Amino acid sequence: MPEDFPEPGSVEAARSRTEVILSLVRREKPTLRQLLASLAGARGHFTVAGTPQQIADLIEDWMLKPSAAPSVNLPPLLPAMLDVFSAEVIPYLQQRGLFRSSYADQTLREHYGLAWPGSAFGEA
């Protein structure tokens, strides 16, 4: 089945997506029905379900691996599941020192030490 897919290097617009799908096909060898079911919900992304502590354990494992790449958590239903994640998983991550509890600065610009741009309209 992997031979039915183009080489990732030949797909410029969606190379990472192609690599994710090829990896899934090579690793799990799904039927076409299974592949489509996997891609329909998460579009090929890794999916996980569990208790808040199990999710925090998994995130901690990812974060502590030396080869960990930045990740994005995509709740399946917004904003409800983001609220659940924030209320139930983030406290576990904060207890473990993996997620901040407060910010020292007031704005994102201050947090990153970025200068304030001058006004495009000049001074009043």
For the stretch 22-58, pLDDT in tens is: 888 998 899 999 888 878 766 656 778 899 999 999 9
Q: Where are the domains of the chain?
A: 1-47, 49-114
Predicted TM-score of the model (pTM): 0.58
Any long-range contacts for 26-34 (C-beta under 8 Å, 24+ apart)?
Answer: 26/2, 29/1, 32/1
| Tokens 């290097």 found at | 9
Regarding predicted confidence, which is higher, 93 or 20?
93
The span from the CA of 55 to the CA of 107, in Å, is: 29
What pLDDT, on a 0 to 100 scale, did the predictor assign at position 53? 97
The span from the CA of 33 to the CA of 1, in Å, is: 13
What pLDDT, on a 0 to 100 scale, did the predictor assign at position 55? 93
Tokens of 96: 């473990």
97 burial class (0-12, 13-18, 19+ CB within 10 angstroms)?
Answer: exposed
Choose among 67, 88, 5, 75: nearest CA to 45: 75
